[in-house]
Amino acid sequence: MSDNPGDDNDTSVLVETRPKTKRPPLYKVLLLNDDYTPMEFVVHVLERFFGMTHAEAFEIMLTVHKKGVAVVGVFSHEIAETKVGQVMDFARRHQHPLQCTMEREE
Ligand code: TYC
């Protein structure tokens, strides 16, 4: 019988021992070059929405201008979405074609 001493009667649940260390994915926010948005406007965007100093903002703006694109920050999905929305809205309100997008980090 199953209640006899010595019987193998272990009904306990097997415990998953693999530690669950998965972190939520991060998203790169990218700024794209165009031929029309004034350089000073881009510098202002980077100061205002990404907390850069004037020198940092100027350097990143020049990188985008020369290379076509640059990562301007890495955030959670929600924060990245908010930043993209803020930049796109601000650019549209000022009638500049500046483009900002986000991309999942590997
Ligand atoms: N290429 C623009 C110009 O010459 C400047 C610029 C830089 C535009 C960065 C967009 O993300 C950008 N006025």
Kindly report, residue by residue over 11-60, the tens digit of the pLDDT: 566 666 788 888 999 999 999 999 999 999 999 999 999 999 999 999 99
- Residues 61-98 have pLDDT tens digits of 999 999 999 999 999 999 999 999 999 999 999 999 99
CB of residue 96 inside a 6 A radius of ligand 1: no
Output the pTM of the full model: 0.83
CA atoms within 13 A on the CB side of 43: 10
CA 103 to chain centre: 7
Neighbouring-strand partners of residue 101: 30
Longest pairwise C-alpha distance within the chain: 85
Q: Which residues contact 97 (CB under 8 A, 6 or more apart)?
A: 34, 36, 37, 91
Per the DSSP assignment, residues forming a β-bridge with 103 are: 28
Asked whether this complex has an ipTM greater than 0.95, the answer is yes
Q: Is the CB of 56 under 6 A from ligand 1?
A: no
Output the CA 63–ligand 1 centroid distance in Å. 9
Contacts of 78 (CB under 8 A, 6+ apart): none
